[in-house]
Amino acid sequence: MAVKDLVGKRFGKLKVVSRAPSGPRWQTRWNCLCDCGVEKSILSSNLTTGKTKSCGCGAEENRQIQNKKAMLSEEQVRNQTYENGFIYLGGFNGINKPARFNCKECGHDFEMQAQQAIYGLCRCPKCRVRPHGNSLSDSFFDKRPDLKDAPCRVYLLKLKSNTEEFWKIGLTRRPLKERIRQLPYNVIEQESVETTLWRGYLLEKQFKQVIENYRYTPNVDFAGWTECFQPAPVVNKVSVSS
């Protein structure tokens, strides 16, 4: 079976520079140069799945991000979970411990960690719709045809930090500014179209097919990072039919 050439491609902080000798079980490996200057041999599967995004220097950045999450105030947590579609019920007990929430979409009460509600990592167990739409599929609409005509917005964002610049597509049922507020990057360009949930799902699916070979893994994890790409391809004749 032919091995897909990854030379020149970027995965987080790592840029693939050459093929490395295979591992003990004939696993494909690549020599990668990290942004910090360290060169390291990485398993191909770890690169393509996003498991490895740096030589190890990114671990410290992730620890700093986790510390910032833990320092959120009660008011910040309640406001952010509300913007993401959930009402925080009861007393505040930090973001890492289970708490009760009410789904604004269907009114169902359920339990999850506050950090899951803040960063879009969980969905309501009753209506099964995540705020960022990751649960949508053909089978989902077969079970919930009543949601086909629900309003939504398909968006295209250009994101930037001091070291990165890339694009992200997505679908949201909340105001776009609320979705943007969750992102750990600066938004320098944006386009969006308002449509129904079904048509938006089809449009997003077509976009994902177009960007398949342009996938990009950001240095910082966030809900929706798998929908990022670089460089932006020219999209021609993308249409949606009901």
* Separation between Cα atoms, residue 140 and residue 153, nearest integer Å: 18
Domain ranges of the chain: 10-55, 68-127, 140-229
> Can you give the pLDDT at residue 238?
45
Q: Tell me if 192 sits within 8 A of 158, measured CB to CB.
A: no
Query: In whole angstroms, how far apart are CA 231 and each of 10, 56, 111, 237?
Result: 11, 25, 40, 19
pLDDT score, position 117: 78
What residues in the chain have per-residue pLDDT under 50? 67, 129-134, 235-242
Residue listed under structure tokens 């140069």: 33
State the Cα–Cα distance between residues 223 and 14, nearest whole angstrom.
21
Pairing of strands 29-34, 39-43: antiparallel
**For position 82, what pLDDT does the model report?**
81
- pTM of this prediction exceeds 0.85: no
208 class by beta-carbon count within 10 Å (0-12 exposed, 13-18 middle, 19+ buried): middle
- Would you state the pLDDT for residue 64? 54
Q: Which residues pair with 87 in a beta bridge?
A: 102
Contact in structure between 81 and 110 (CB atoms under 8 Å): no
How many angstroms separate the first and last alpha carbons of the chain?
39
Cα four-point dihedral sign 110, 114, 120, 122: negative
